[in-house]
Structure 1
Amino acid sequence: MSHLILIPARLRATRLPGKPLADLCGRPMIVQVADRARASGLGRVVVATDAAGIAQAVRAHGHEAVMTRTDHESGSDRIYEALTALDVEGDVEIVINVQGDLPTIEPETIAAVLKPLEDPEVDIATLCVEITREEEKTDPNVVKVVGSPLAESRLRALYFTRATAPSGEGPLYHHIGLYAYRRAALERFVKLKPSALEKRERLEQLRALEAGMRIDVEIVNSVPLGVDTPEDLERAREILSNQDRA
């Protein structure tokens, strides 16, 4: 199948202003993410942005960027505009959405998101990891996947929530916000109106489930660091510095 990796990026972060351009070991954070996306070997990598400064930085480091509108509500809306601009003929079959604030994500983790799409019944694929820290089980900032096991490393998503769920004995899973969409599924998704549960939980993926779309989840071994605060940024610098020395 033909794959396109799209990395949405904008400059509106309030907790860490200018986040995509923050320096990480001599490279902007958005470039670090693009480097790792390219290393996954899945195909063409493009940063979709509404900021000229981001596009300039990405291109200066040998990556591709496409300009998009400034009024998008979400990253999925932005990548759909980018897809239609970059692939007018409709050749791309799978679109992979990699968040631009995951500078330590492993290329193998990005590649893992394609595995659920081996089943033709799956519309959207995403990732999760088993929660091992007790405090994360009750943390509303840690989004949980509630799903039916399909295999040792695969769930069929039934729900996503900020609450502690499901109850009872057994593992809980931390959702990783990286998605692979079949082209038709992405087109359908962005044309749906925000759903009731999506607005209540503030989780966009619930829109797809409420519309009857199938999301399967690959279980991976580690959660990539999401950079949202200055403290996260320092931690990412430490992680990347250690990797460079290894």
Structure 2
Amino acid sequence: MKTMIVIPARLASSRLSEKLLLRAGGKSVLQHTYEAAKRASVTDQIIVAADDPRIVKEVDGFGGEARLTDVNCQSGTDRIAEIALMHDDVDVFVNVQGDEPEIDPGAIDAVAELLMSRPDADIATAACAIDTLAKLEDPACVKIVMGANDRAIYFSRSVVPHARDGGSETLLSSGKTVYWHHLGLYAYRRDFLLWFATQPPGQLEQIEKLEQLRAIEAGKQIVVASVAPAARGIDTLEDFRAFRDRIEDI
């Protein structure tokens, strides 16, 4: 199967303006992400799906490949679907978020390889074990409920599965992983992307504000690769400063 990594890159950000162009260690956040993705072995084909000419200029400047996509795309997945329309020779598209400069290339490979090995699946994504109560109860930490054969049953910002007898802490310390943190890394089949781009948000998606529920609600199959805990992405100025300190201290 032919695979492509796509990095959806939106210039505007409500929490940290133009964060992808912020520089640490002489490189932009976007360049760090691109170079991390390039270390994945599953493909050497990487495209940045940009919404602004300044993003394209930045990518051209460090020798990458970028395509300008519709500024009105509602999500990164829609932006990747636009790239998929341009590449009917590619079977699998891997979504690497542009604000993940410390993403593990091994996790990219794991997600892509899982989808390629599972003809029953439309999407593959990644998760790591939750091991603290604070993280479990944080609505910013999206949880996955998994069933047989590593299949995702549901995604939620709430604590799921709910321990009816109040035993969340006991479950955390049981030695068996019950709670899983969803990481925003995906691999999609091309036909799924083209379907997704034509579908309105589902009821569950609108309630939880999680677009992967659009696929779950429609009966699409999502499989999950278990990976090591991920470094935090760049959402806030504090995140960026911490990343810059780590990079510049090396």
| Short-chain TM bin | over 0.9
SS where residue 93 of structure 2 aligns? strand
Match of 1:161 among 146, 150, 156: 156
Give 1:120's aligned residue.
Answer: 119
Q: Which structure shows the bigger proportion of residues in strand conformation?
A: 1
Map of 1:21-36 to 2, 5 A cutoff?
Answer: 21-36=21-36
Distance 2:242 2:40 in 1: 23
The range that moved more, 14-23 or 111-120, is 111-120
Distance 2:144 2:248 in 1: 32
Distance 1:82 1:3 in 2: 13
Unaligned runs of 5+ in 1: none
Give 2:41's aligned residue.
Answer: 41
| Pairing 1:12–2:19 present | no
Deviations 1:60-105 (A, max 9, x none): 10100000111111111111112223x2xx1100001110010111
The normalised TM-score by structure 2 is: 0.91
Map of 1:219-238 to 2, 5 A cutoff?
Answer: 219-238=226-245
Distance 1:149 1:177 in 2: 21
The range that moved more, 10-19 or 168-177, is 168-177
Give 2:168's aligned residue.
Answer: none
Distance 1:239 1:119 in 2: 37
Compute the displacement of 1:172 (Å): 0.6
Amino acid at match of 1:203: L
Distance 1:73 1:213 in 2: 20
| Pairing 1:92–2:90 present | yes
Distance 1:51 1:91 in 2: 26
The normalised TM-score by structure 1 is: 0.92
Distance 2:153 2:137 in 1: 19
Residues 115 and 218 of structure 1 are in contact (CA less than 8 Å); yes or no, is this contact kept in structure 2?
Answer: no
Distance 1:106 1:236 in 2: 15
Residues 55 and 66 of structure 1 are in contact (CA less than 8 Å); yes or no, is this contact kept in structure 2?
Answer: yes
Compute the displacement of 1:195 (Å): 0.1
Amino acid at match of 1:52: P
Map of 1:44-193 to 2, 5 A cutoff?
Answer: 44-85=45-86, 87=87, 90-117=88-115, 118-150=117-149, 155-168=150-163, 169=171, 171-193=178-200
Distance 1:239 1:133 in 2: 24
Identity, in percent, stands at 39
Compute the displacement of 1:123 (Å): 0.7
Amino acid at match of 2:155: F
Residues 8 and 100 of structure 1 are in contact (CA less than 8 Å); yes or no, is this contact kept in structure 2?
Answer: yes
Runs of 4+ in 1 over 3 A off after TM superposition: none
SS where residue 187 of structure 1 aligns? helix
Amino acid at match of 2:240: L
SS where residue 114 of structure 1 aligns? helix
Give 2:166's aligned residue.
Answer: none
Task: Evaluate the alpha carbon distance shift between residue 241 and residue 110 of structure 1 in structure 2; reply closer, same or farther with a 3 A threshold.
Answer: farther
Compute the displacement of 1:133 (Å): 2.3
Compute the displacement of 1:149 (Å): 4.3
Distance 2:236 2:6 in 1: 23
**Alpha-carbon RMSD:** 1.2
> How many equivalent pairs are there?
236
Distance 2:111 2:41 in 1: 13
Distance 2:136 2:63 in 1: 40
Unaligned runs of 5+ in 2: 164-170, 172-176
Deviations 1:9-32 (A, max 9, x none): 111102110111010211111111
Residues 104 and 239 of structure 1 are in contact (CA less than 8 Å); yes or no, is this contact kept in structure 2?
Answer: no
